[in-house]
Structure 1
């Protein structure tokens, strides 16, 4: 298919757009350091080398964990709320101050469109830091309970919420700023220390965060440590090391299962934000134009690389073919190309490997009987894939059950509301979903029957810093953001004291 990236863009990338010679360093124990080896980060829109990142090994990971342990055990970070507020305020301010540089790097390394960086790829995540800074102002780390009498003596009782300890935070490539700050901000607000591991495909943007912390905040040495690398062994170490108290991971469900099993040996606290195969249910009274728009433009958001995107479109059987034609028409208007261009709606997939995976799933779906309405092609150069619609999809097939992580929407017909609910819940995942209807009460009734952690009614947006985000079933354990996100990093200690006199 014809290229969607201009020769000028390719030459700009090769000639250092955000720095093809860009190099970043690890943050360990308050110092910016190199590793003994490095690897290349690729611009997914062009396939050209963007820069190099240190390839941290076991030694660097051990040092980062030791630094975090030392900072937790022997500094005042875990108990000094005012220090934490001041440092989080500084972090938010420096992120805002350097937002333009972070924006360009996010576009170049992640393949995120410029428009998305003004939302969940950058600006909104900075808002997470600001949210937790504000939350500390009124959050009660001590809860008073009623006094009781025991053997004729009054007992005062209370509960204190203490920092859980050293946190290993492991993130995915698709929204690296969102994922990093959704873990870092509440962990730091709670008083924990952190070792953050960048995604192997997007190391530079996460390491840039470490540089800003080291050079522009008063966060004490060792409180935040940021590493990057390709080693599977480093990931294993971060989830099994005896000095790590909490593991938080965002990524695929298979890897999440491995992490949970590894962490079980020492009974570490684990919370996981994993995959999704969310359904958007179009009821028979819905506005079909709105349904076509939601279905098409949602699946093209960040080229479909979002765990909570509604990738299954459930439609009344009588409306299936009409809506398929409307969605295909919408997909034909999606602007695909250079993510740095403000007019672009959909950029590339993260890598050739990911594009091959997406294409393989589409081809198998067609071979298994799904109807390819549009798309299903690779676009060169870079790692683009055309917006794809598959119709008449079997709800039990691979393409309807497994996470694709690409711009692929599957349409599934249903017979009535009960059938729609059954199909929507016919998934090992339970992250998100949505419904479109002219009747708000009917829509809410459908939502209450869907087994997911988040749900959108007629396009409502739940994804803000004050709303807990997470899933049911194999979509994860625990919640990020909101008060619940802070409390994932707190332990409860109950006290009782006899009252003298």
Structure 2
């Protein structure tokens, strides 16, 4: 169903347009097929449809309809889960095991949580009667949808991020224009097919745009009819979005980059902690903004930590994403592979070395592959240790105790995520609380869940996605006072 057509969804209709572009299997480099390449006029049509649907369809005020449609969408996605699974493996290069979690099954299930939240949410709160300046008034606070949401999403976890924006935005009563990443257009188009064919979501409420370039994103940010931009992607693009959105003073949610630290305390099980850090860095070829890519270990155990981590990363290796055992598949594109290789060259220039990896794996002449790589011998001030690489690359650094580990972890322009492993739980908790990051895992704890807010400090973004906080990003606050 999904890999034979990939139309746009605009105003409740599947539109193919006159322009097409290719989508590529990152594991083989082969062309999978074509997707609709939207023009500026298509995006304008989508924004017009979303604006009209917000004003005229009754979607914004009909809570029961919204929650029913969200559950319909969850059920439709669940019915087609196996087709979507194969599509995601082929187009995103996602390891099969991840599709049973954050790459597919988990975000689909999360739609039900947002439907439940919308039904239980306190949309209106009575502040009671007061007499400011001697004038008796009954006051209440009302929460209302923003209007048209422009969502711009990346390729690394296409279903998770598309649904993490669409779910709360729709539950809150907004309409949406989703501009999907050029590398994963079929994943977005599949969502559009199901919305039109298997739900009662009104025309114009959801519009899905795919395109080969990035100019459409700038157009979406600049349009005054769009009330909020929700963006996940690089920090550099996030800055550009803020500048563009400032012209119309629209709300902006940004979930951006990271260079997250994995701290191993001196009372931790070194083998267990370093093996866990190696696994995390290799998962989905390191293509996750919240993946921990700096490993901070006690100086006295540095040599042993290097040995353990390198052994684990080498053992993980790379593999066919279709294989249930694969942890590290391909990177998404030739361009991304070249970017990672540029950082590997830089690491050597900065005085670093490779305990394992450092290039392309043998026997992988087709597709876009990078070996799991452990970089040693660098300082935290090096560019390789400070900049987001977005590949299966881990930098290992020594620390001199808890205070030094916290200092090194926080000495970063980013603040998205982090991890702490230690034997004394209270001590590990204390270190976690000192990290200037939006999420922290302690001793392997998993923070990913529909009810947990996700986002970062500093240059890792503004606002939160998921949880009640993420839902409220899509709401405005209105205060009403009535004279008595």
Aligned-partner SS, 1:180: helix
| Structure 2 counterpart of 1:33 | 15
Number of equivalences: 481
Q: Deviation of residue 258 (structure 1)?
A: 0.2
- The TM-score with structure 2 as length reference comes to 0.98
1:431 aligned to 2:413?
Answer: no
Q: Deviation of residue 232 (structure 1)?
A: 2.7
Q: Deviation of residue 230 (structure 1)?
A: 2.0
| Structure 2 counterpart of 1:13 | none
Distance in 2 between residues matched to 1:123 and 1:24, nearest whole Å: 21
1:363 aligned to 2:348?
Answer: no
Q: Deviation of residue 478 (structure 1)?
A: 0.5
| Structure 2 counterpart of 1:441 | 426
1:177 aligned to 2:159?
Answer: yes
1:210 aligned to 2:192?
Answer: yes
Distance in 1 between residues matched to 2:450 and 2:72, nearest whole Å: 18
| Structure 2 counterpart of 1:74 | 56
Q: Deviation of residue 481 (structure 1)?
A: 0.4
Distance in 2 between residues matched to 1:109 and 1:222, nearest whole Å: 27
Bigger mean CA deviation after superposition, 122-131 or 107-116: 122-131
Query: Aligned match of 1:390 in 365, 369, 375?
Result: 375
1:306 aligned to 2:288?
Answer: yes
Aligned-partner SS, 2:230: strand
Contact 2:287–2:331 under 8 Å retained in 1: yes
Distance in 1 between residues matched to 2:432 and 2:214, nearest whole Å: 39
Q: Could you give the per-residue CA deviations for residues 322-365 of structure 1, whole angstroms, max 9, x where no partner exists?
A: 11001111112215211011122211000011011111101210
Q: Superposition RMSD on alpha carbons, in Å?
A: 1.2
Query: Aligned match of 2:466 in 481, 488, 491?
Result: 481
Contact 1:57–1:231 under 8 Å retained in 2: no
Contact 1:18–1:104 under 8 Å retained in 2: no
| Structure 2 counterpart of 1:6 | none
Contact 1:335–1:343 under 8 Å retained in 2: no
Q: Deviation of residue 153 (structure 1)?
A: 5.3
| Structure 1 counterpart of 2:70 | 88
Aligned-partner SS, 2:138: strand
- The TM-score with structure 1 as length reference comes to 0.94
Distance in 1 between residues matched to 2:416 and 2:176, nearest whole Å: 26
Could you tell me which runs of 5 or more consecutive residues in structure 2 were left unpaired when the two chains were aligned: none
Q: Deviation of residue 128 (structure 1)?
A: 1.9
Could you tell me which runs of 5 or more consecutive residues in structure 1 were left unpaired when the two chains were aligned: 1-16
Q: How does 1:26-425 map to 2 (within 5 A)?
A: 26-150=8-132, 154-379=136-361, 380=364, 381-425=366-410
Aligned-partner SS, 1:225: strand
Distance in 1 between residues matched to 2:280 and 2:452, nearest whole Å: 20
Q: Could you give the per-residue CA deviations for residues 12-42 of structure 1, whole angstroms, max 9, x where no partner exists?
A: xxxxx985xx331000000000122100000
Distance in 1 between residues matched to 2:474 and 2:456, nearest whole Å: 18
| Structure 2 counterpart of 1:7 | none
Bigger mean CA deviation after superposition, 322-331 or 377-386: 377-386
Q: Deviation of residue 57 (structure 1)?
A: 1.3
Contact 2:350–2:378 under 8 Å retained in 1: no
Q: Deviation of residue 438 (structure 1)?
A: 0.4
Distance in 1 between residues matched to 2:203 and 2:167, nearest whole Å: 16
Aligned-partner SS, 2:315: coil
Q: Deviation of residue 72 (structure 1)?
A: 0.4
Contact 1:160–1:493 under 8 Å retained in 2: yes
Distance in 1 between residues matched to 2:226 and 2:15, nearest whole Å: 22
Distance in 2 between residues matched to 1:457 and 1:281, nearest whole Å: 10
Contact 1:128–1:481 under 8 Å retained in 2: no
Query: Aligned match of 1:450 in 413, 435, 444?
Result: 435
1:493 aligned to 2:478?
Answer: yes
Aligned-partner SS, 1:328: helix
Q: Could you give the per-residue CA deviations for residues 103-152 of structure 1, whole angstroms, max 9, x where no partner exists?
A: 00000000001100000000011122111011122111101102113566
Contact 2:25–2:92 under 8 Å retained in 1: yes
Aligned-partner SS, 2:160: helix
| Structure 2 counterpart of 1:4 | none
Q: Deviation of residue 367 (structure 1)?
A: 2.1
Aligned-partner SS, 1:333: helix
Distance in 1 between residues matched to 2:402 and 2:133, nearest whole Å: 60
| Structure 2 counterpart of 1:8 | none
Q: Could you give the per-residue CA deviations for residues 201-260 of structure 1, whole angstroms, max 9, x where no partner exists?
A: 111111110000010000000000000002332111100101110001000000000000
Aligned-partner SS, 1:35: coil
Q: Could you give the per-residue CA deviations for residues 137-188 of structure 1, whole angstroms, max 9, x where no partner exists?
A: 2111101102113566531110110000000000001000000000000000
Aligned-partner SS, 1:384: coil
Bigger mean CA deviation after superposition, 326-335 or 267-276: 326-335
CA distance 1:151–1:471, shift in 2 (3 Å):
closer
